[in-house]
Amino acid sequence: MSKPTLGIIGGGQLGSLLCSAAKKLKIKTIIFSDDQNAPAQNFSDGFIYGKYDDPNKINEFINQVNIITYEFENIPFKTLDEIDKKKSVLPKPSINKIIQHRLAEKDFINNLKIRTTRYIYVDKRSQIENAKDLLPGLLKTTTLGYDGKGQFFLNNIESVKDLDINFSKGYILEKLVELKKEISIIITRFDEKKYEIYEPIENLHEDQILKHSRIPADISNKILEQSKLWSIRLAEELKFIGTMCVEFFIDKNDNLYVNEIAPRVHNSGHLTINAFNISQFENHIRAVCKLEQIPIKKISNAKMINLIGDQISAYRKKNYASNEFFFDYFKKEIKQKRKMGHLTTLI
């Protein structure tokens, strides 16, 4: 059977890294993005620029590919669903619908008796004033948030008065967890009870943006086992096909909470490119294109640093040792808080 052509919606660094992994497997990729400068076009075989609700552009895209996947979760559900009627979209749009809405996502996780932070839905200021036990807390938009965007820290009831936001958009108020540590698990599910799961990755955020990741995570065996079991359960319940990520909090008393699910490859898994025989990107391609599932094996422990904003300039000039792997995302413009590249070091 000839190899399929894979369509990828979204053209950021995750798209680029998916394209590189596909190339290794001799699978052609077409990127569809609403950003004319999308960096992934430097790595793909084809590129279509268009709005995510432009039926002509969407059709042009569909006609060039056999299977469709996506590299970010904030694509309108309607778009994904319409595409899915003509060409198979994996992971299924119904999964994305749950996960792109923070309330639906948290309810889904809680209904499985998997612990999350305490939260309530909020669309009026007075609801926060009546939920003092959730303060200090974080108010998060239900949709379209990433890298801490659309989040407001509320220290006490006084800070609620100063909030200048449109409540009717819908938010969740979430109790602040006293964090000891954050970890994530990357899992690629191929079929029922068929998956490859990477060991937990320890993550450090700065200003709510991921800055450092490393394996092995310095965690107890109990947390290791629990986080894996919960990730497998979530992937199975969602009937997920492809790579997904579960982000966890660990509090000062060693309680584990699921923070959120990313229905896609994830920044914390960049180190899998160099530290494993098969990366999260390659596994995603293998799962959605129905290629062989190969057991993952760790080659080395590793750490990764995200290069954000201006920081990239110095790294572009450096020389690297053989255990260091520098990735430049070739974004057109350097912007503050923008992820510009990363460096993985095998340790």
Q: Which residues bind ligand ADP (CB under 6 A)?
A: 117, 138, 145-148, 174, 176-177, 179, 182, 205, 208, 247, 259-260
Residues 292 and 186: their CA atoms lie apart, in Å, by 19
**Complex with ligand ADP: residue 6 or 138, whichever CB lies closer:** 138
**Complex with ligand ADP: residue 4 or 145, whichever CB lies closer:** 145
Contact 210, 198 (CB under 8 A): no
Instruction: Find the shortest distance in angstroms from Cβ 84 to ligand ADP.
Output: 24
Instruction: Find the shortest distance in angstroms from Cβ 296 to ligand ADP.
Output: 25
Closest by CA position to 258, among listed 108, 115, 119 = 115
Residue with tokens 């937990």: 200
Instruction: Find the shortest distance in angstroms from Cβ 208 to ligand ADP.
Output: 4
Instruction: Find the shortest distance in angstroms from Cβ 16 to ligand ADP.
Output: 20
Q: Which amino acid is at 229?
A: L
Residues 150 and 324: their CA atoms lie apart, in Å, by 34
Contact 21, 284 (CB under 8 A): yes
Residues 214 and 305: their CA atoms lie apart, in Å, by 9
Collapse the DSSP code of 215 into the 3-class scheme (helix H, G, I; strand E, B; otherwise coil) and give the result: strand
Instruction: Find the shortest distance in angstroms from Cβ 175 to ligand ADP.
Output: 6
**Complex with ligand ADP: residue 196 or 202, whichever CB lies closer:** 202
Collapse the DSSP code of 62 into the 3-class scheme (helix H, G, I; strand E, B; otherwise coil) and give the result: helix
Instruction: Find the shortest distance in angstroms from Cβ 176 to ligand ADP.
Output: 4
Residue 276 CB neighbour total at 10 angstroms: 23
Residue with tokens 């003509």: 86
Q: Which two tokens stand for residue 141?
A: 């938009």
**Complex with ligand ADP: residue 107 or 147, whichever CB lies closer:** 147
Q: Which two tokens stand for residue 181?
A: 């540590």
**Complex with ligand ADP: residue 148 or 170, whichever CB lies closer:** 148
Residues 192 and 246: their CA atoms lie apart, in Å, by 18
Q: Residue 29: enclosing H or E segment and its boundaries?
A: strand 28-33
**Complex with ligand ADP: residue 182 or 202, whichever CB lies closer:** 182
Q: Where are the beta strands (DSSP E) in 54-104?
A: 67-70
**Complex with ligand ADP: residue 117 or 306, whichever CB lies closer:** 117
Tell me the sheet residues that pair with 181: 250
